Chains A and B, each alone.
Chain A
Amino acid sequence: MTIETMPMSRALNAGLRKAMEDDPRVLLMGEDIGRLGGVFRITEHLQRDFGDRRVLDTPLAESGIVGTAIGLAMAGFRPVIEIQFDGFVFPAFDQITSQLAKLTNRHEGALSMPVVIRIPYGGHIGAVEHHQESPEAYFTHTPGLRVVSPSTPNDAYWMIQEAIRSNDPVIFLEPKSRYWQKGEVELEASALPLHASRIVRRGTDVTLVGHGAMVTTLLQAAALAEAEGTSCEVVDVRSLSPVDYGPILDSVRSTGRMVYAQEAPGHTSVGSEIAATVMERAFYALEAPVLRVSGFDTPFPPAKLEGTYLPDADRILEAVDRSLAY
């Protein structure tokens, strides 16, 4: 088995490369992804190696990129789009939610829309406005889209390939603050299915659940809790739509307590939905209400305040304490 240690950014690059080698109909589109290799260098050297008809430096127009990707998919291609930053997906929102998400349904299955939209998302990089947002709920609220987010390099490597193989449109949220975090990637073994959630740490007292960048924070919190004598189980949701509730419910049934953490505002969020579903399906197993830790219901603040805005291990532990106090 070949195992390599690499940061998530490299793992994504390797996964994209593999997908392009495996299927000549896969093409990449986006702003600055060719010569520059993307502002985060996720597509570095891919244009050099695959040419400028498979790695397109597009005009600067997100609605145009997604709209033409829809047409390319109709022509049999499998476009993989890079949106440069989370806050710039909204010019394409209409094409994504009104068109891309609905075309399979409107054609009653006669057409599929294998388009992947990669979005570097989330805070903790000290950036300016529109560069630190967590827009996942806009997309999970839209039927017809699959929404996923890897939390490790290994998942990034495999999930991007599976997303590209999927015949459905996939919103692929890359936790940009974790791009530089290294991990082991198993280059040959096949991984969990795209839609599966996973228990990443075993524990007995409280179930901590989250996605993307927050998984690392949950693991930090679990380590700190352990030092105080509390055993936390950690579940990585991986797929935000559809959600694989099996491992989450199993965990909650064994611990009786759950805390969901996310960077996005809490109101009508992924965490809200998962909390509500867990309360519906595991009500009698719960010893405390499911609690949510999230960004505040405000715009993402100026960078100097992001440390206050974003949930950290302490905020998660505060919720753990509250849960245990019931």
Chain B
Amino acid sequence: MTPIEAPLVRVLADDGSYAPSADAERYLPLIDALTDAELEQFYRDMVVIRAIDTQATNLQRQGQLALWPPSRGQEAAQVGSARAARAHDTLFPSYREHAVTRIRGVDPVDILKVMRGTSHGGWNPTDPQNGNTRIYTLVLGSQTLHAAGYAMGLAFDGRTGTGDPERDEAVVVYYGDGASSQGDVHEAMVFAASYDAPVLFFLQNNHWAISVPVETQSKVPLVSRGAGYGIPSVRVDGNDVLASYAVSRTLLDEARSGLGPRAVEAVTYRMGAHTTSDDPTKYRGSDEEQRWAQRDPIARMRAFLEGRGAPASLFQETDAEAADAAEDLRSRAITLTSPERSLIFDHVYSDPHPLMAEQKTWLNDYEASFEGGAR
């Protein structure tokens, strides 16, 4: 059995019909408990973020951004897991979790700043506005250790495992199939397991690390690695928002109740390029892309909602909301200006540092020497 074919938790079939897989049984009560409003919210999340993502891709094509890593195709994995987290949980994204950050309240313009080259991150994760979401990480896998350590801290401080899920905190960390090969990820799992840290390792297997297929990263389904660290792990259809939600919710609640770390392999697909600098036609065939297009997470959820009798107005309203969000993003993104040059020196250290003051003064004097044609 190739890594891609191993069994997984799935609630919706490719065509959107309700058809739970054998492994889905224990999660179904959580899905039954979802209200219409919640189901519609999942759909809206996915549609709006796709519009934002498409807009950002266009902005890059028009030279407004240096780079954009599209999230197209991965919306269900991200929305399901982000909606499963509780407001007081802390999330550690990688660099493609646009749906996650949006759900937590981070302004997408703050993410565009990173890609436009006006900031290296900049949002304050402790500002409630940003939903306890840490900044993007570009060095693959690094954030898994930070998440493990943060979760250790929660355990040491007794902020988890008291038995009260309304209070007990947990952590979700996102990383990819490529990143799963990094030593940091392995070390993170060792630490998390050893200290029973309340962290959910959320792996989005989108099948490609730039041009390298997942088979080069692992000969076994990635989910099976968790067992080697003593971390209970679940494989889920990452293009099924309901399955992603229910599995994440269950594992997160287990982690927060003191049972130790948990892991998810969400099997999904990066529908577009790795980033806007990448050309996927160089390494993969369109037949594969076609096959995955049949499993589009948004089309699937829409079919499910239609099957339940959702009114056409829901879809119209959602499309309108998405168009507004995308337009809002464009209009604010293109007015982002270059930061002040002092940003180079500010915040390198928290305490005053003489070298920063000296070099800042030098630069200001140097720049001033040009004014009025001094040179």
Residues of A within 8 A of B (CB): 31-32, 34-37, 39, 57-64, 87-88, 90-91, 126-131, 267, 296-299, 301-306, 308-309, 314-315, 318
Contacts and interface: CB of A to CB of B under 8 A. Distances in A.
A126 B338 CA distance: 13
A36 to B, nearest CB: 4
B67 interface: yes
A36 B363 CA distance: 42
Given A305-B341, A305-B344, A308-B344, A130 B183 contact: no
Interface stretch (B110-118, B123-131, B166-174, B312-320): B110-118
A36 B209 contact: no
A89 B10 CA distance: 39
B212 A298 contact: no
Contacts of A58: 216
A304 B181 contact: no
Contacts of A315: 366
B81 to A, nearest CB: 22
Nearest to B176: A60
A42 to B, nearest CB: 14
Contacts of A304: 116-118, 338-339
A58 B181 CA distance: 10
9 contacts: A36-B282, A36-B283, A39-B210, A87-B138, A91-B139, A91-B182, A298-B359, A299-B348, A302-B119
B179 interface: yes
A57 to B, nearest CB: 5
B183 A61 contact: yes
A126 B344 contact: no
B146 interface: no
Interface residues on B, range: 35 or more
B103 interface: no
B67 A35 contact: no
* In the complex, the 10 A-B pairs of residues with the closest C-beta atoms, listed nearest first: A303-B117, A36-B211, A60-B178, A304-B338, A59-B181, A61-B181, A60-B181, A304-B117, A35-B283, A32-B211
Contacts, number: 120
A60 B215 CA distance: 12
Contact of A309 (B67, B282, B344): B344
Given A39-B210, A128-B66, A309-B344, A59 B339 contact: no
B366 A318 contact: yes
Contacts of A303: 66, 116-117
B120 interface: yes
B356 interface: yes
Given A57-B211, A296-B363, A267 B355 contact: yes
Interface in B263-304: 277-278, 282-283
Given A36-B282, A127-B67, A298 B182 contact: no
A302 B120 contact: yes
A298 B277 CA distance: 27
A30 to B, nearest CB: 10
A31 B141 CA distance: 15
Contact of A298 (B179, B344, B369): B344
Contact of B182 (A32, A36, A60, A130): A60
Contacts of A131: 138
Contact of B66 (A31, A35, A126): A126
B181 A127 contact: no
Given A296-B344, A303-B66, A304-B338, A128 B138 contact: yes
Given A60-B179, A309-B344, A126 B117 contact: yes
Given A90-B139, A129-B138, A298-B344, 16 more contacts: A31-B212, A34-B211, A35-B211, A35-B283, A36-B282, A36-B283, A57-B211, A57-B212, A59-B181, A59-B212, A91-B182, A126-B117, A128-B114, A130-B138, A301-B344, A304-B118
Contact of B183 (A31, A36, A64, A87): A64
B325 interface: no
B87 interface: no
A314 B183 CA distance: 44
B71 to A, nearest CB: 16
A315 B365 CA distance: 12
A230 to B, nearest CB: 14
Contact of B115 (A91, A128, A299, A308): A128
B15 interface: no
A154 B178 CA distance: 35
B375 A314 contact: yes
A260 to B, nearest CB: 17
Contacts of A60: 140, 178-179, 181-182, 209, 212, 217
A299 B118 CA distance: 14
B343 interface: yes
B220 to A, nearest CB: 13
